[in-house]
Structure 1
Amino acid sequence: MNQREVGTRQESRAAEYLESLGYHILVRNFRCRFGEIDLIAKQDDTYIFIEVKYRTGRTAGDPTSAVDGKKQKKISKTADYYRMLHQIPMDVPCRFDVVAETPEEIRVYANAFYYQGSGW
């Protein structure tokens, strides 16, 4: 199984888990010229932009460490584009979550980082 197939499987696993927590998944793998967002969901009136990180085990490191400042800016800019494309006003609440997966567990970090964009 290649990396893309593993990623797709883990994103599906994360989406199922998030749905069980009350998230409504709107989009999987949103791509544009600025980057990619693994999952976009909505919960009540809040849009949630979600990065999914998978590691094969604890020795492979903490999955959340891969969402560094550079990655946060890229996700924020991509979220800005999504909001503009779908005419979602800037005053509509949004947040950025990270789902950290290992074969043993799934952890959700709500508000894992703050918006790093320019706010079109």
Structure 2
Amino acid sequence: MQKNKRKVGAFYEEIAADYLVSQGVMILERNYRNWLGEIDLIGMTADGWLIFVEVKYRSSERSGSPLAAVNGRKQLVISKVAVEYLKNHYRSMDVRCRFDVVGINGDKICWIKNAFDFCQ
């Protein structure tokens, strides 16, 4: 079952990446991992924002909103991974960045910019 979940996740992450590209985002990383966790997509917007993107898919609302699935624990993991990414790639924390969520519910895509604040 886990293998199928990974395939489904990868499929919808690709849809989210294609959507973001169509909106002017340059995708820098896919499934960026370090010892703290993973960020689905990392991109740069046309106006210079570095974005850390969590992608969530739901086939229907019965399982709840895909956006609600990015809970406090997940936000903390993404924040920690982002710090390490900034240290390793920019050698600075002084970079305009934000945390976005792309929710896919059936065939609807919802991009929430600045979906949550940095967590410690």
TM > 0.5 between the two? Answer: yes
Residues 1-120 of structure 1 mapped to structure 2, 5 A cutoff: 2-43=4-45, 44-117=47-120
Deviation at 1:73, TM superposition (A): 0.8
Q: Distance in 2 between matches of 1:67 and 1:88?
A: 27
Q: Distance in 1 between matches of 2:111 and 2:27?
A: 15
After TM superposition, the score normalised by the length of structure 2 is 0.93
Provide the secondary structure at the position in 1 that maps to 2:24: coil
RMSD of Structure 2 on Structure 1 (CA): 1.2
Is the 1:99–1:109 contact (alpha carbons within 8 Å) kept by the matching residues of 2? yes
Worse-matched range after superposition: 65-74 or 2-11: 65-74
What residue ranges of structure 1 are gaps of 5+ in the alignment?
none
Q: Distance in 2 between matches of 1:45 and 1:90?
A: 15
Q: How many residues align?
A: 117
What residue ranges of structure 2 are gaps of 5+ in the alignment?
none
Q: Distance in 1 between matches of 2:65 and 2:20?
A: 20
Q: Distance in 1 between matches of 2:98 and 2:56?
A: 17
- Residues 65-117 of structure 1 deviation map (CA, whole Å, 9 limit, x = unaligned): 11111111110000001111112421210000000002220000000001114
The structure-2 alpha-carbon separation of the partners of 1:88 and 1:108, relative to structure 1 and needing over 3 Å to count, comes to farther
Provide the secondary structure at the position in 1 that maps to 2:113: strand
Provide the secondary structure at the position in 1 that maps to 2:9: helix
Provide the secondary structure at the position in 2 that maps to 1:89: coil
Moved over 2 A (4+): none
After TM superposition, the score normalised by the length of structure 1 is 0.93
Identity of aligned residues (%): 48
Q: Distance in 1 between matches of 2:91 and 2:111?
A: 25
